[in-house]
Amino acid sequence: MNPAAQGLAWLFDPRGTVTARVYLRTGAMLVALKYVVDATLVWTISHQLWQPSGYLAPLSGVRAAALAGAPDWLLVVMGVWAAPFLMMGVSLSVRRLRDAGRAWWWALLFVVPYAGYLLMAALCLLPTRPAAGQFVVQPPVEEPSGRDALVAVGLAFLITIVSVATHAFVMRSYSAGLFLGTPFSLGAVTAYFYNWKRLHSLRNTFWVVFLGIAGGSLALLAIALEGVICIVMAAPLALAIAWSGALVGREMARRASEDVIRVSGVLVLATFAPGLGGPPPPLHEVVSVIEVNAPPDVVWQRVVAFGELTEPPELIFRLGVAYPVRATISGTGAGAVRRCEFSTGAFVEPITVWDAPRRLAFDVVEQPRPLYELSPYDSLRAPHLAGVLVSKRGEFRLVELPGGRTRLEGSTWYTLAMGPLPYWRPIADAIIHRIHLRVLRHVRGLAEADGRSVS
């Protein structure tokens, strides 16, 4: 049947074959469509020109740098918009490989940075030829196998520990390879070995992959590589990617593929793919605003330094995320040193702008770890607790409002060396915003009390 007559579903169907000409023509149309929508979104929202070079390293900092200053939801929208194109690209590549008489598992390269572009170029050139042999398709069975599941979960343990340890201690990078490649490989390997000897239902396969993720997480806790909070934050992304990998792994088993070693090589490449260089993490600003029923000169005194925060910490802080407890200052004017004490230690902040009562700006030259990890071990020091989320500078701005009120704004500029940024940056922004509000509400309470006492 003509592809155009089959509708959109044809693009997602991995069955059958496509010729090099159809692959090239369809791929070019999809690339053009994606670029037009991406460029329109970026220009409309952030008034920046989205260059095609932004696609060269989609898992590194290149894309984030190009979108510096764009709202967080734009990154999320672009990520969601990219997902169906990824699925269509894999589907088309599988069919083109089948048409060229090549093993289908080469399509896994489509999701590997840089390698995916080489694969697409090759598939546009390879001629059509008959496949060397036919796959043996196994019928599914519904009865779960405890022994198969145990072997699969054990492999998930191993993959998780080796990958996290390698990224943390050897590569020293919490890149997208860890948060995308590792769950995908875990899901694929777990599903393959669960269905290797006899094919199980997709539902049971997903449950075994879930147990693999849970088991790997418990293993990280047991050997003091990670704490509860970070595992919980990464879990939604890890589960979604792992279940995608499970579809690939189960399909490998269903077709009784003989290419397990080579497929494993591709999975390892995806698992341990680093951030592929790229520019330093972009500087990002988080702004929080509150109105105070007191004039700026009264609010200023409480912004510069404040006593113990009496508001009970929110749940996220009680779980271990660092939160402010007091602030002190040594000296006045530019050059004075402010210390903002957090639950995990002190931020040391030399004052760079002292414009009373309008603006107080400072650099951050020292900062404590961002959280206490919930863990069986009191002395857990996960590698990502240092150098991943780094505060660079901060600022308070006081704007006089009618009626003796003040608009109080707080800003923090930070870098985040953890990928994928579209997933982790909104989480970091939300945490920093809660920290801001804790300070701003405290300042408001003190300043309004001071204003009432003066009046």
Cβ neighbors of 252 (< 8 A, separation 6 or more) are 105, 188, 192, 259, 260, 263
Locate 77 and state its tokens: 């929208």
**pLDDT tens column, 154-163:** 767 677 777 7
Residue 147 and residue 101 share a domain: no
- If residue 440 lies in a helix (H) or strand (E), which one and from where to where? helix 421-454
Asked, as a colleague might, if the bond just before 420 is cis with ω within 30 of 0, I would say yes
Residue 7 and residue 156 share a domain: no
- CA dist 358 and 334 (Å) reads 14
User: How many domains are contained in the chain?
Assistant: 3
Locate 366 and state its tokens: 């020292």
- CA dist 232 and 441 (Å) reads 28
Pairing relationship of beta strands 199-200 and 140-141 according to DSSP bridges: parallel
Residue 313 and residue 229 share a domain: no
Q: Is 297 helix (H, G, I), strand (E, B) or coil?
A: helix
Residue 148 and residue 72 share a domain: no
- CA dist 195 and 204 (Å) reads 10
Residue 269 and residue 190 share a domain: yes
- What's the domain range around 431? 284-454
Report DSSP letters for 241-276, one per residue.
Answer: HHHHHHHHHHHHHHTT-S-HHHHHHHHHHHHT----
Residue 107 and residue 149 share a domain: no
Distance in Å from the first CA to the final CA of the chain: 83
Residue 431 and residue 300 share a domain: yes
Output the pLDDT for position 238. 81
Strand partners, 338: 329, 349
Count of all residues that appear for the chain in the document: 455
Locate 170 and state its tokens: 């050897």
Residue 100 and residue 213 share a domain: no
For residue 110, give the DSSP letter. Answer: G
Output the pLDDT for position 351. 93
* Contact of 208 with 233, CB cutoff 8 Å: no
- In whole angstroms, how large is the CA radius of gyration of the chain? 26
**Residue pLDDT tens, the chain, 455 long:** 444 445 667 787 777 789 999 999 998 888 888 888 888 877 777 677 767 766 654 433 444 445 555 565 666 566 667 767 877 887 788 889 888 988 776 776 776 666 778 889 999 999 998 654 444 445 555 555 566 677 777 767 677 777 776 666 665 566 666 777 778 878 888 888 788 777 878 788 888 888 888 877 777 766 656 667 777 888 888 888 888 788 877 877 776 655 554 555 555 555 555 444 455 678 888 999 999 999 999 999 889 888 888 888 888 888 888 889 988 889 888 899 999 999 888 999 999 999 989 999 999 999 888 877 766 656 555 666 667 788 999 999 999 999 889 999 999 999 987 777 778 888 888 899 999 999 999 999 989 888 776 55
- CA dist 302 and 307 (Å) reads 9
Residue 174 and residue 130 share a domain: no
Residue 416 and residue 291 share a domain: yes
- CA dist 213 and 165 (Å) reads 16
- CA dist 73 and 67 (Å) reads 12
Residue 289 and residue 274 share a domain: no
* Contact of 107 with 93, CB cutoff 8 Å: yes
